[in-house]
Amino acid sequence: MSAVFEQIFQVGFLAAIIRIATPLAFATLGEMFSERAGVLNLGIEGIMLLSAMTGFTAASLSGSLWLGVLAAVLTGMLMGALHALFTVVLGLSQHVCGIGVTLFSSGLAYFLYRLIFGQQSVPPNIKGFQTLPIPVLSDIPVLGPAVFNQFALVYMAILAIPLAAFILYRTPWGLSVRMVGENPRAADSAGVSVIATRFQAVVLGGALMGLAGAFLSMAQFNAFTFGVVSGRGWVAIALVVFGRWDPWRSAGAALLFAFVDALQLRMQASGLGHIPYEAFLMLPFIFTIVAMAVMSRNAVAPSALLKPFRREER
Amino acid sequence: MFRLEVRTSTPAWFNLALPLLAIGATLILCSGLIALAGAGVLEAYGVMFTASLGDSYAITETMVRAAPMIFTGLAVAVAFRAKFWNIGAEGQLLAGAVASCFVGAIPMPGPLAMVLMALAGAAAGAAVALVPATLRVKFKVDDVVSSLLLNSVIYYALMALIEGPWKDSFSGYPISPPIEDSANFPVLLEGTRLHLGVVVALIAAPLIWFLIVRTTLGFRIRVTGENPEAARYGGIHVERVLISTALLSGALAGLAGVGEVGGVHFQVMSDISPGYGYSGIVVAMLARLNPLGVVPAAIFLAAVMTGAEAMSRATGVPAFLSDVIQGTALLAMLVALLFTAYRIRRVGAAR
């Protein structure tokens, strides 16, 4: 046990947790915005994949990583807008549309990647983001090199958490988002445009999912592979529920998952323990399913989640 | 002037027209990608068609691929009929594959092995589907998310098996040991891969149609889906119907996995399903949740998948076009379904 304990307080281990948590934090915040407005976005898995692809491609062709990030964010927003068009404007069923968006985006990502880069035995890679130590802060023992000697996108994720909380709880737009997610009828009577607010929230969510994809292909792996997302979108869906649709709790859930994942990777590498690593990967999903059952007594999910809004239907 | 009106009923020919409209729109939209890849659109689709449905061997290959999607399509159609939102056909398929592989590896007479494989696979799929259904009935847990998340749980369980106790100690590959030769499903046409499971899938569709349309359980499933309040008022135990639906749906998805183990791969590996569970959603929606419609819808998707490989070899268009077609078809179908809810009527000018 003490060996495990020592591992945890290594700088490298803490840094790994932060790195694993970053794309999950982006994705989870993105899904949270969408769901708080009443729209489940199961397109997340495909949106992350397509964004990872467009980001990588733009960075690879232009030589500018930030142009890649921009491409990924725009891709996320565009696919978010597509999902919103179907589910918010046309009022189609959210879960089926989400699966459709995931199938479509992943297919498109594979197709375009193969078209642009051809079939290569070694996937092309780029020189991804380098760590950017923050002066002074990075000199703090242990915490400094782990948290403040990271990629720029990591800092963005860390800042995104309080920003998301601020937007959701302290701005008029955030209030509108919560209203249209809880009681669209009342929001409509209060003069809030349900359709517009939901659309905006899903597009903002898509932008964050795009950042998650950008991180994967431009900071974590520095390449686009077909398994670059490998279920992280579904993890985000779980984390939103586990984090009770709250930015702080969702980010905390992402950090907790990253901790378990990093631990699992360490144990695999060191040959420590005989538990199959898949058991750890399963945990967030099992925890979330159990948590949903436990939490069901006090309904915390946005009340209007999955319910399309049509003004004429009363 | 045109006005959008709410429709109260839809004519029967819509069942055929809407999927055809959606597929037509899909092929037109995706032709842009073919052109982008610098190939002739008609040529590419032509190769796709000939390679999947052009000769008898191609047809058998397409049918082999359609079989699992017929099962997952039926699984989703049955579940969606009751508004049990089973997004978990993928996990249920994998569970069915694992269970049937366990049974198939036990030496016993072939026919007995096949029957037991089917039973074990169906039971495993049903058991997985029971989880989201029970959570919904007992705890009001949203079945969309719980059934989706279970897919990942089952996938990792499968990976733990094939990288752990099942791992091939000789080659080190993460694949299960093969099932007994005697448990391999018989091939029906010499020189092809057309196995018994394909026929079972084709028989299952009309049986499920009969169950949904002509039996009491089917009636209960439909009423529960269309109007749970009325169902309850009419003395239908809605919770029990949801559980039965889940068991049936999961069993069907499990059988998809059984067919892949017994008839195609004879073992379990990590990529035993290229997303057949999710394709089942596409199939069911294209079929408008009609079990009979599931068969042509599954054959369409299977033909696209089979044909895409040949198209890629002949024209250089990436075979991933089939994935794009699948996603586009689902979205196009959803939009086409709007025609069942609304009609566009000309108003004003005529009067």
Domains of chain A: 2-295 (1.10.3470)
Question: How many residue contacts between A and B have a Cβ separation below 8 Å?
Answer: 138
Q: What is the 3-state secondary structure (H, E, C) of chain A?
A: CHHHHHHHCCHHHHHHHHHHHHHHHHHHHHHHHHHHCCCCCCCHHHHHHHHHHHHHHHHHHHCCHHHHHHHHHHHHHHHHHHHHHHHHHCCCCHHHHHHHHHHHHHHHHHHHHHHHHCCCCCCCECCCCCCEECCCHHHCCCHHHHHCEECHHHHHHHHHHHHHHHHHHHCHHHHHHHHHHHCHHHHHHCCCCHHHHHHHHHHHHHHHHHHHHHHHHHHHCCECCCCCCCCHHHHHHHHHHHCCCCHHHHHHHHHHHHHHHHHHHHHHHHCCCCCCHHHHHHHHHHHHHHHHHHHCCCCCCCCCCCCCCCCCCC
The nearest CA of chain B is from the CA of A179 a distance in Å of 21
**Spatial separation of the C-alpha atoms in residues A156 and A159, rounded to whole Å:** 5
Give pLDDT, residue B270: 92
Check A289 against B281: CB less than 8 A apart: no
The nearest CA of chain B is from the CA of A104 a distance in Å of 4
Check B320 against A296: CB less than 8 A apart: no
Q: Between these two residues, A11 and B40, which has the higher pLDDT value?
A: B40
**pLDDT class for B1, splitting at 50, 70, 90?**
low
Check A241 against B145: CB less than 8 A apart: yes
Is the Cβ of B151 closer than 8 Å to some Cβ of chain A?
yes
* For chain B, domain boundaries: 2-346
Q: Between these two residues, A95 and B1, which has the higher pLDDT value?
A: A95
Is the Cβ of B164 closer than 8 Å to some Cβ of chain A?
yes
The nearest CA of chain B is from the CA of A244 a distance in Å of 14
Residue A223 bridge partners (DSSP): A125
Residue in the block written with tokens 């079989």: B67
The nearest CA of chain A is from the CA of B171 a distance in Å of 20
Is the Cβ of B282 closer than 8 Å to some Cβ of chain A?
yes
Check A111 against B151: CB less than 8 A apart: no
Best residue of B312, B331, B333, B334 to probe chain A, by most A CBs closer than 10 Å: B331
What angle do the packed helices B196-214 and B238-259 form, to 10 degrees? 170
Give pLDDT, residue B168: 75
Q: In chain B, how long is the greatest CA-to-CA distance?
A: 82
Residue in the block written with tokens 């498109």: A108
Residues of chain A in contact with residue B320, where contact means CB-CB under 8 angstroms, are: 107, 110-111, 114
What residues contact A217, with CB distance under 8 A and at least 6 apart?
A: A52, A53, A55, A56, A72, A223, A224, A228
Residue B172 has pLDDT above 90, yes or no: no
Q: Which residue in the set B144, B148, B321 is minimally distant from A111, CB to CB?
A: B321
Is the Cβ of A90 closer than 8 Å to some Cβ of chain B?
yes
The nearest CA of chain B is from the CA of A130 a distance in Å of 32
Check B152 against A282: CB less than 8 A apart: yes
Check A96 against B145: CB less than 8 A apart: no
What angle do the packed helices A44-62 and A94-117 form, to 10 degrees? 20
The nearest CA of chain B is from the CA of A181 a distance in Å of 16
Best residue of A89, A115, A226, A312 to probe chain B, by most B CBs closer than 10 Å: A115
Q: Mean of the per-residue pLDDT values for chain B?
A: 93
Check B87 against A286: CB less than 8 A apart: no
Residue B30 has pLDDT above 80, yes or no: yes
Residue B187 bridge partners (DSSP): B195
Check A107 against B320: CB less than 8 A apart: yes
Structure tokens at A259: 């901790």
Residue B124 has pLDDT above 60, yes or no: yes
Check A96 against B318: CB less than 8 A apart: no
Give pLDDT, residue A68: 97
**pLDDT class for B339, splitting at 50, 70, 90?**
confident
Residue B350 has pLDDT above 60, yes or no: no
- Determine the CATH number of domain B2-346: 1.10.3470
**pLDDT class for B5, splitting at 50, 70, 90?**
confident
Query: In chain A, whose CA is at the least distance from the CA of B35?
Result: A115
Model confidence over B283-331: pLDDT tens digits? 999 999 999 999 999 999 999 999 999 999 999 999 999 999 999 999 9
Model confidence over A149-208: pLDDT tens digits? 889 999 999 999 999 999 999 999 999 999 999 999 999 999 999 999 999 999 999 999
Is the Cβ of A42 closer than 8 Å to some Cβ of chain B?
yes
How far the first Cα of chain A sits from its last, in Å, is 60
Residues in chain B: 351
Give pLDDT, residue A278: 85
Check B327 against A108: CB less than 8 A apart: yes
Residue B351 has pLDDT above 70, yes or no: no
Q: What is the ipTM of this complex?
A: 0.92
Q: Which residue in the set A40, A114, A289 is minimally distant from B149, CB to CB?
A: A289
Model confidence over B43-77: pLDDT tens digits? 999 999 999 999 999 999 999 999 999 999 999 99
Residues of chain A under the 70 pLDDT cut: 1-9, 271-274, 296-299, 312-314
Q: Between these two residues, B132 and B349, which has the higher pLDDT value?
A: B132
Model confidence over B195-214: pLDDT tens digits? 999 999 999 999 999 999 99
Residues 248..277 of A with a Cβ closer than 8 Å to B: which?
Answer: 276
